[in-house]
Amino acid sequence: MEGLQNALNDRGLTVTILPEKGRSLFTTRNFHPGEEIISQEPYVCVPNNSTVESRCDRCFASINLKKCSACKVSWYCSSTCQKSEWKLHRLECDALARLDKDRHKSVTPSIRLIIKLFIRRKLQSEKVIPTTATDNYKLVEALIDHMSGIDEKQLVLYAQMGTLVNLILQWPEMNVKEIARHFSKLACNAHTICDSELRPLGTGLYPVISIINHSCLPNAVLVFEGRSAVVRAVQHIPAGAEVSISYIETAGSTMTRQKALKENYLFTCTCSQCVKDQEDEIKESAILEGYRCKNDQCDGFLLRNSDDTGFTCQQCGLVRNKEEIQNIASQIKSISDEASTSMFHQNCGEALFMYEKLEELQKILCHPYSISLMQTREKLLKISMELENWTKALLYCKLTISVYQIREMTRFNVSSWALVTQPFYEYELGKLARICWMKGKHGELYSGIHPLLGLQFYTCGKLEWLLGYTEDAVKSYTKAFDILRITHGTNSSFMKDLLLKLEEARAEASYKHSSMEDE
């Protein structure tokens, strides 16, 4: 590990072992917002290839693909990609080519990831593939595996997958227990590789990046440039601070986040977002997962009555009765099932109709900032885009942005939720931003920089541009750029394209403006 420490020292980083978290990455110098903290190529990675969509094994491109004629599992977009993977693929190819057609179906991306990992370990130990301080199997060996914490059912599954890997590789020195331990390692250390718009492309193992621990209020973000993982600071990080990223979608309530972290990563988060007093935690769940007030004009949150007959608004005191709530909730359940079925069958017209019905019901039942309502609107945005209904798409995009913004502003402090009375007015957002900023100055962490918010502004800008709302498009692209230059850097082709779109929109807006002045 000395080599790793030296490599990290050069970057202003160090690994420290904390009793409650294990290995942790710390800074030894200041990092400014948007600055790259660390980047790494994967030790191994695989695309999420399916029968519907395939991607190049090397660069994850989805065009000009040709299947490897020997194993009929790997795809490559060019001979350059095929050649650069060949040393690794040669052994995998021999193993996969031995399998009969039926067995091919069980070669999932996770099975391939493990196979590639063992092949890479073998080739590095035989010095066919070189090792470096940040690219060697010892770093994989050092990853936590939580074998003693996982349940019996999961162990059985890993053992079954291990048996399949053994059958494919046919290496006498391998045993199922060792393979199962590596599956367990991957479960809590591998990362989903996404494109710039956060669409999942595959899975990769980045053993140095995997040293970074989780926080629900992280000071850094992990994005991908092709298959390279890049961690960037989203706020000023002083020397001597721990670098943290988020392993999960942080929009959920504390209870939901804690559950996801416990189930997938086997720890209880104690970050500042998670350590709240019980009253704040109840308030937070009531807003994100609870019901709305019967009075349309009131945005109060509801708490269950002590006699369990209904829920009372904590702002105006109105009561919603339990039967009425149960009735709407059961309608929501059945429409939601129908909507998912239409989506599954890619029947966009029907899905749009069903999700709109669902949204109407959720608006009656759920708090305006509820997660399920926001998720429905995200689906409606996606479907409207598929159907090229830009006006509808823009409406849903704006509705989600408002909630994302309020969430980002209030994430660090639940009592700020109570200040949000008029959800979709810029005035209120501005007021809230000022309050949050003042609180931030008094030492509480505040990060309004979230890639999802930046990407939603980007989509909004594209829709406004398409609909001819040029000045609005300039504003949205500018907001997108201000956030994404920090999370994504400015060098990627995605960011260059965003800048180009912004410049084009600005030029058209100023042309429109001058033509109006001439008239």
Ligand X SMILES: C[S@@+](CC[C@H](N)C(=O)[O-])C[C@H]1O[C@@H](n2cnc3c(N)ncnc32)[C@H](O)[C@@H]1O
Residues of this chain that interact with ligand X (CB under 6 A) are 20-24, 143-144, 188-189, 210-211, 213-215, 265-267, 269
Smaller CB separation from ligand X, 18 or 167: 18
Least distance CB 263 / ligand X (angstroms)? 11
Question: HSE (CB half, 13 Å, CA atoms) of 110?
Answer: 18
Least distance CB 137 / ligand X (angstroms)? 15
Smaller CB separation from ligand X, 89 or 257: 257
Smaller CB separation from ligand X, 114 or 188: 188
146 touches 267 (CB < 8 A): no
Least distance CB 40 / ligand X (angstroms)? 13
Least distance CB 458 / ligand X (angstroms)? 29
Can you tell me whether residue 305 is helix, strand or coil? coil
434, containing H or E segment: helix 426-441
Q: Which residue is nearest to ligand X (CB)?
A: 22
Least distance CB 191 / ligand X (angstroms)? 9
Least distance CB 154 / ligand X (angstroms)? 14
What Rg do the C-alpha atoms of the chain give, in angstroms? 25
Smaller CB separation from ligand X, 142 or 395: 142
Least distance CB 217 / ligand X (angstroms)? 11
Helices 390-410, 426-441: crossing angle, 10 deg rounding: 30
Among 68, 65, 162, smallest CA distance to 117 is for: 162
Least distance CB 17 / ligand X (angstroms)? 7
96, containing H or E segment: helix 79-97
30 touches 19 (CB < 8 A): no
Least distance CB 38 / ligand X (angstroms)? 14
Least distance CB 307 / ligand X (angstroms)? 39
Q: List, as own/partner pairs, every contact residues 10-16 make where C-beta atoms lie below 8 angstroms and the sequence separation is at least 24, other chains included.
A: 11/37, 11/38, 12/239, 13/37, 13/38, 13/243, 15/211, 16/242
* 320 CB neighbour count, 10 Å cutoff: 19
Smaller CB separation from ligand X, 22 or 468: 22
d(CA 360, CA 366): 10
Smaller CB separation from ligand X, 125 or 264: 264
The torsion angles phi and psi of 342, rounded to 5 degrees, stand at: -60, -40
Smaller CB separation from ligand X, 210 or 312: 210
Strand order in the sheet with 200-205: 44-47, 200-205, 191-194
Question: What one-character-per-residue DSSP string does 342-365 give?
Answer: HHHTT-HHHHHHHHHHHHHHHHHH
Smaller CB separation from ligand X, 43 or 494: 43
Smaller CB separation from ligand X, 23 or 90: 23
Smaller CB separation from ligand X, 264 or 493: 264
d(CA 159, CA 137): 22
Block residue for tokens 């490559």? 76
For residue 434, give Cα distances in angstroms to 389, 403, 422, 480. 36, 17, 16, 20
